Amino acid sequence: MQSGACCIRIGRHAATCRECRPLEPRADLLGVNHTDVDRSTAPTSSLWREAGDVRDICVIGAGIVGASVAFQLSRFEDVRVSVVDVGYPGAGTTEAGTGWISARGTADARYRELRLLAMDEHHRLATWFPSSPWMTTGGTLQVEDEAADFDSLVEECIAADYPVEVLSAAEVNAQLEPHVAFARPDLRVAHFLHEFTVAGSLLARTLFHAATDNGAIGHFGSRVLRLEQLGERHRVVLDDGTVLEADVVVNAAGARADEIAATYDIAMPLTPEAGMGIHVQAVGNPLRRMITVKELAAKPETDGIIRLRSLVGWKTGEGHSSPDPGFTGGMERNAFVRHVLSQAEQLLPSIAPIRAIATRVGVRPMPADGLPRVGAVSSVPGYFEAVMHSGGVLAPLVGRLLAEEIVTGEQSPELAAYRPDRFLGAPVRTAHVAGDAVGSTL
């Protein structure tokens, strides 16, 4: 990348960001060789406060959203970043999610444009981390299904200039996926050429470790009990007795972000959406890109892992089941896993019998209107939010734009439609009592 190609502007002054000089790769990033940037040319926030001062920023949540925000903040020279999570970076919903990077499926043109920008941002981020093993390119596939309007889907994409081609199943076998079994060779398959997938947990870990190389500190294994205001600063109270003080707090705590917001009497209406990812081991390279067929999505990841996801939740051949809130349904859960595995064996018979090696349950934070919730809350200076349903898609873009907003004070026009203040007047969730700990499920 040309030096200065992604420099940001602070007020009227240009500042060069830190991707210019490669450093020695860390050995603990699972083979990821990432590039850092020279602190001597790092962006500074001197227009935001007194020269020489250092601003403490605490990011709550180390999923893909929180890790992205933390990484982008850490690139500023005079910012000191801490990250808090009950789990480890990239755990929770980030680890359970599909990591399908797409801009289709929304009728909101402005939101579709944001997702398109986010897709570009993933590629931009990958140029900073040259190996980028978390990304699988080559498009995604969707098989014709009598339960879905295939023609309308394709027509909508063509009308929106969203690259798609329609192939027969036989053509897919010949050109793209030789090991996938289709019900008929003449079935139509949509190939969305610019879509891709990411291993969200690996990306989150990479971004977090890059942030620590820039001086960030992680505090893991403890839950956030509450936030407290202390003059112009904030106190983040953890369940282990630790209290962190910060000038700025970023709430990126996923499906439990509303509990943290409630400690400041901030309304955050959410409709959480639960789901489960199933990891299976595959020998060789039986799947090269994500494919969806009827109820199943199958996606290749690193180290011979294929991630399976039911597209209809807990539906089985016998009908719908209702899991308990903690997803500890015993045999009910096992029956669901067996059902998904049987579908996968029909799709990829060359690796049958398929055995699950892990299941991951996550809860996605769906804001009440379905759109992201990003930026400052006017009632609490120094408090920001980054809560969204499509974290895997949006995290790199939101992380960069929000970090720039926090440091420069200049609001991003791309985020104007997604401000938390649009929910002013909504009911506030009853704040948890002391001891009812909050942790992110990102």
Confidence of residue 80 (pLDDT cuts 50, 70, 90): very high
**Percent of the residues in the chain that have a pLDDT greater than 90, as a whole number:** 66
pLDDT score of 32? 41
Task: Identify the CA nearest to 375 among candidates 336, 412, 324, 423.
Answer: 412
For 363-384, write each residue's pLDDT tens digit: 889 898 999 999 999 999 999 9
pLDDT value of position 376: 97
Average pLDDT over residues 15-44: 35
> Highest mean pLDDT: which of 42-51, 337-346, 405-414?
405-414
Domain positions in the chain: 8-95+201-271+368-423, 140-193, 273-364
Q: Which residue has the higher pLDDT, 360 or 191?
A: 191
pLDDT of residue 272: 85
- Tell me the residue ranges of DSSP E strands in 179-261: 188-192, 196-198, 217-220, 224-230, 233-238, 243-246, 248-251
Distance CA(184)–CA(188), nearest Å, equals 9
pLDDT tens-digit readout, 320-361? 444 444 333 333 678 888 888 999 999 999 999 999 999 888
Average pLDDT over residues 67-82: 97
Contact 387, 372 (CB under 8 A): yes
Residue 37: pLDDT band (50, 70, 90) is very low
The pair of structure tokens assigned to 314 is 């807990």
**282, pLDDT greater than 60:** yes
- Across the chain, mean pLDDT equals 83
Which pLDDT belongs to residue 429?
Answer: 66
Report the pLDDT value the prediction gives residue 295, as an integer from 0 to 100.
Answer: 84
Give CA 330 to chain center in angstroms. Answer: 29
Structure tokens at 84: 């808090």
User: At 109, which helix (H) or strand (E)?
Assistant: helix 109-128
Determine the Cα–Cα distance for residues 62 and 68; give it in Å rounded to an integer.
Answer: 9
Q: Which CATH class is domain 273-364?
A: alpha beta
Find residue 196's DSSP bridge partners.
101
pLDDT at 435 over 70: no
DSSP letter for 411, please.
P
User: Which of these CATH numbers, 3.40.1550.20, 3.50.50.60, 1.20.200.10, 2.60.40.3880, describes 8-95+201-271+368-423?
Assistant: 3.50.50.60
pLDDT at 91 over 50: yes
Q: What is the pLDDT of residues 381-395, one digit of tens each?
A: 999 999 999 999 999
Helices 64-74, 391-408: crossing angle, 10 deg rounding: 30
Model pLDDT, residue 52 = 54
